[in-house]
Amino acid sequence: MAILITGGAGYIGSVTTELLRARGERVVVLDNLSRGHRDAVAPEVPFYQGDAGNRELIEHVVHEHDVKACIHFAAFAYVGESVSSPALYYENNVEQGIRLLGALVQANVRHIVFSSTCATYGEPQRIPIDEQHPQQPTNPYGWSKLFIERIMSDYDCGYGLKFVALRYFNAAGATPERGERHDPETHLIPLVLKAAHGEIDRVAVFGNDYPTKDGTCVRDYIHVTDLAQAHALSLDYLRAGNSSTAINLGNGQGYSVLEVVNAAREVTGREIAIEMQQRRAGDPSHLVADAAKAGAVLGWKPQHPELADIISSAWKWHTKRSSAQA
């Protein structure tokens, strides 16, 4: 009995694969390596290079490994790219997602944990954001995730598919072995650490006139191992026969861009230059989760809620990787 992990060669998928294996679960990874890294998956893990929407391949993998559940990470996840190239997002995230769900239902796999996002909420009407907050995405990336949530609800009614849609806020941090490696990198913490390491000159800060404590945007950062743990608990939840649901994953605490930069200066002991730029269109001032439901429903509690711990884990991984490459 195995768990199929799509997108398992990516950042969050590879850390979740690592955690599930440590828990004694059998896992199979499927990733087309469009944005992931083969070496992020341990060589002992069965690995298939292919598309999440390749129905024949999915059916083959399910039968070969007796797959009983799927964690679906595979997607493109750049908000800006989704605005300039929406077809890429609807084809990769929605079209392929539909084909994956169809193949899973066909093969009688009825438990899905899905990587959704706080981007499905759009401009916040209240902070913190709970799961009842209206979902009105402001970009194709957010819509692509919301469409899959919607389709899974209908497949629940029609085919008995049971799912947990995990709406992540900002994943960050690393394990000693695995961390964030996006190209291009757009996430704040890895960019700040690249600046600390001298790989980039400075970090752009988009807007310092927001209605926040220091004028810069406030975001909710969650340690990637806490995220991974929530996936394991979601599988337990589904295996116990519970109904489909959507759950926020965040710390419930917001940090401004300048707070992140200052915390990184402290953790690394390095100077980190910043450059103030204009606001970016569509960036809300605050995005902070109400994650009470994850505690109540899954029994989940973040083990590494402190920003300094999150940054420190990412810094250790970053410096180890850079010295290994040197």
Ligand X SMILES: NC(=O)c1ccc[n+]([C@@H]2O[C@H](COP(=O)([O-])OP(=O)(O)OC[C@H]3O[C@@H](n4cnc5c(N)ncnc54)[C@H](O)[C@@H]3O)[C@@H](O)[C@H]2O)c1
What is the binding site for ligand X (CB under 6 A)?
6-7, 9-13, 31-36, 51-53, 73-77, 92, 96, 115, 117, 168, 170-171, 182
Closest CA to 119 of 135, 130, 132: 135
Number of Cβ atoms within 10 Å of the Cβ of 3: 25
Residue 209 CB, nearest approach to ligand X (Å)? 25
For ligand X, give the closer residue by CB, 127 or 215: 127
Residue 87 CB, nearest approach to ligand X (Å)? 14
For ligand X, give the closer residue by CB, 65 or 270: 65
- In three-state form (DSSP H/G/I as H, E/B as E, the rest C), the secondary structure along the chain is CEEEEECCCCHHHHHHHHHHHHCCCCEEEEECCCCCCHHHCCCCCCEEECCCCCHHHHHHHHHHHCEEEEEECCCCCCHHHHHHCHHHHHHHHHHHHHHHHHHHHHCCCCEEEEEEEHHHCECCCCCCECCCCCCECCCHHHHHHHHHHHHHHHHHHHHCCEEEEEEECEEECCCCCCCCCCCCCCCHHHHHHHHHHCCCCCEEEECCCCCCCCCCCEECEEEHHHHHHHHHHHHHHHHCCCCCEEEEECCCCCEEHHHHHHHHHHHHCCCCCEEEECCCCCCCCEECECCHHHHHHHCCCCCCCCHHHHHHHHHHHHHHHHHHHC
- In the numeric block, which tokens belong to residue 188? 């704040």
For ligand X, give the closer residue by CB, 278 or 303: 303
| Four-point Cα dihedral 116, 118, 122, 126, nearest 10 | 140
What's the start-to-end Cα distance of the chain, in Å?
41
Q: Which of 141, 210, 237, 255 is catalytic?
A: 141
For ligand X, give the closer residue by CB, 102 or 215: 102
For ligand X, give the closer residue by CB, 60 or 270: 60
Residue 234 CB, nearest approach to ligand X (Å)? 14
141 is a catalytic site residue? yes
Residue 271 CB, nearest approach to ligand X (Å)? 26
For ligand X, give the closer residue by CB, 6 or 251: 6
In the block, which residue shows the tokens 């438990």?
111
For ligand X, give the closer residue by CB, 33 or 258: 33
Closest CA to 5 of 27, 20, 38, 25: 27
Q: Which residues are catalytic?
A: 141
